[in-house]
Amino acid sequence: MNSCKTLVRTPLSSFQRRTQRIRRNLSSISVRNLNSISANFSNQRFRSLVSPNQGLGLGFYPNGAFSRSLALAQAAVSGEITDQLDETVSNNSTVEIIDESTEDRVEELLANANEVSDLMKMERRSDIVDGGGDVKRRHWFPYLDLFRTGSTSLTSSEVLEALDPYILEGRKERIREVVKNRSYGVCLAVEGLTDFGNVSAVLRSADALGVQSIHVISCDGTKRYRDNRHVSMGAEKWLDIELWKSTQQCFKVLKSRGYRVATTHVGTDAVSIYDMDWSCPTAIVVGNEHKGISDEALELSDLHCSIPMNGMVDSFNVSVASGILMHHAVCDRISRMGSHGDLTDEELQILLAEFFLRHSKSTVSIAHEYVKRKVDTVRSKL
């Protein structure tokens, strides 16, 4: 007979007694970096398994191993827990704490350009508009091999050296795999969206598909967004988000970076997305939930494209359309190029350093301390 879990409902009033028992059961577990993990718990949001009407659900296995729910309950003793524990915790296992909040910050970010800029840590390359100044690159990559800290700076290799001991191996491997599949060959621009839920969903899809660069165009100075539905799952933390005050300004910069601008539009001159070569650097532009793409965007774009539809309705929800567009672009690039990720070794290292710096709030401070030690060592030798 297949083993099955028994769900035990525990009233909140007896939660403390139950968690004390859980602590005793946990004594046989090997936990790596226990002190560090305990400290991390105090900085995480506790997402409990509490049902508003039925109390706390704890899952137990008949063979003595216990589920992720049990690990969450243990951490609840200190009041807070990380949002993600990906693996079931069993005897002789290692608990990996991911220092990452999945709280949706999209509304806060889009209302404050400085907040968006602060997400990006490595020094960014300046835009070249109207063709002057820099040697034309094979493709656009936004970062320099430079992280500024006070009056000094670190290279990406120094950033990785500084932060490597403070990130668990499993987490580092996941970040490396994500970075390997990132690309700036396709980017997405959203024009005049009024629903935070849609913006959040677009960001989440972009992160999942490896589309690193997102542009948000706000054409209205009044209150531009409504109804944040907390659906991005923290994806905005890992993306390069740029805010623009006008469509013209955004398109001008995108073209200077080597992108062709493709606006989504249902019209006789629209090209099917299935007939496009997505290995060519392309900026996909989606429009307002109600009005669609603006006339200005249609006029300034290089081409119009559409998703073929066979139903009575002639449009998708904007977040669904964005997901379809990005998914097809990634699949087409894989079929033509062998992979979606197309960064050079140098660019991979720089983006890896960028992700390490974004890993948690403490990593930037650790990099600063690394610089101080480096400067002190040099001075001591003088």
Q: Which residue has the tokens 């063979």?
A: 63
The tokens for 202 are: 């677009």
Neighbours of 248 (CB within 10 A): 15
> Which range is least confidently modeled, 118-127, 181-190, 315-324?
118-127
Q: How many CA atoms lie within 13 A of 250 on its CB side?
A: 30
* 3-state percent helix, strand, coil for the chain, nearest multiple of 5: 40, 15, 40
* 56: CB partners within 8 A, 6+ apart: 9, 10, 11, 12, 15, 18, 48, 49, 50, 73
Helix 361-381, helix 345-358: angle, nearest 10: 110
Q: How confident is the model at residue 359 (pLDDT cuts 50, 70, 90)?
A: very high
* Residue 195 near residue 209 (C-beta atoms within 8 A): no
Which residues does residue 262 pair with via DSSP β-bridges, in sequence order? 284, 303
Helix, strand, or coil (residue 225): coil
SS3 198: helix
pLDDT of residue 230: 54
Q: How many C-beta atoms surround the C-beta of residue 165 within 10 A? A: 7
What mean pLDDT comes out for the span 348-363?
94
Q: Which residue has the higher pLDDT, 205 or 106?
A: 205
Tell me which of 44-58, 110-124, 270-284, 340-354 is least confident. 44-58
The H or E element containing residue 322 is helix 318-337
Is pLDDT larger for residue 250 or for residue 19? 250
Q: What number is the average pLDDT over the span 99-124?
A: 66
Structure tokens at 323: 């997901």
On whether the CB atoms of residues 354 and 367 are closer than 8 A, the answer is: no
Among the residue ranges 22-36, 71-85, 312-326, the one predicted with the least confidence is: 71-85
CB 148 within 8 A of CB 353: no
Tokens matching residue 65? 């191993």
* SS3 assignment, position 304: strand
159 touches 147 (CB < 8 A): yes
User: For 145-184, how does the pLDDT look when each residue is reduced to its tens digit (9 = 90+)?
Assistant: 999 987 889 999 999 999 999 999 999 999 999 999 999 9
Confidence band for 379, pLDDT divided at 50, 70 and 90 = confident
Q: What is the pLDDT of residue 54?
A: 42
Between residues 133 and 105, the one the model is more confident about: 105
What's phi and psi for 156, nearest 5 deg?
-60, -40
Q: Tell me the sheet residues that pair with 282.
A: 186, 260
**pLDDT number for residue 41:** 43
Cα 36 vs. chain centroid, distance in angstroms? 24
CB burial readout 172-201, b (16+ within 10 A) else e: beebeebbebbbbbbbbbbbbbbbbbbbbb
pLDDT band at 219 (very low <50, low <70, confident <90, very high): low
Residues 6+ apart with CB under 8 A from 255: 261, 302
Q: Which of 32-36, 201-205, 290-294 has the lowest mean pLDDT?
A: 32-36
In DSSP terms, which residues pair with 283 in a beta bridge? 187, 261
Give the largest Cα separation in the chain, rounded.
Answer: 78
Rounded distance between C-alpha atoms, residue 233 and residue 360, angstroms: 15
The stretch 228-247 carries a mean pLDDT of 80
Give the predicted TM-score (pTM) of the model. Answer: 0.69
Q: Domains of the chain, with CATH numbers?
A: 6-76 (no CATH), 106-142+183-337 (3.40.1280.10)
Determine contact, residues 122/248, Cβ cutoff 8 Å: no
What is residue 16's predicted lDDT score, i.e. its pLDDT? 55
pLDDT of the residue at 39? 44
* DSSP three-state, residue 7: strand
Query: Which tens digit of pLDDT belongs to each residue from 281-331?
Result: 999 999 987 788 999 999 999 999 999 998 898 788 889 999 999 999 999
Those residues whose C-beta lies under 8 Å from the C-beta of residue 79, and which sit 6 or more positions away, are: 42, 46
